[in-house]
Amino acid sequence: MAATLPGAEGRPTLIGWDKLDHVASFAALALLARSGWPERSRWIPAAALFAYGIGLEVVQSTEFVGRTASISDLAANAIGIALGLALAFWLGRVARTLKWLPLRR
């Protein structure tokens, strides 16, 4: 994963703004996690992904990687997780409305 690679300043980003990269990445991960385990509580993938984000920041702060940890990156991760879970909820509602998925009990 690119988050754990040593990097110099000015490294390329996926979207062009570092925080937007975090939001987009974690939104995609949350959407996939919620879609993959729809029977689980939404808080389980949210907590797991947030812990993953913390782990990435810890690894980035090591001397081996040579990057810096950032609280603002964690905030962007949390926003991405919330957006991904909200999108999964909305897509589930649309699918049930269109009778693609059965109602969960």
For residue range 20-51, list pLDDT tens digits in order. Answer: 889 999 999 999 999 888 788 889 999 999 99
Q: Which amino acid is at 1?
A: M
- Residue ranges of domains in the chain: 16-97
CA distances (Å), 28 to each of 2, 36, 54, 84, in order?
16, 12, 17, 6
- pLDDT for residue 100 is more than 70: no
For the entire predicted model, the pTM comes to 0.77
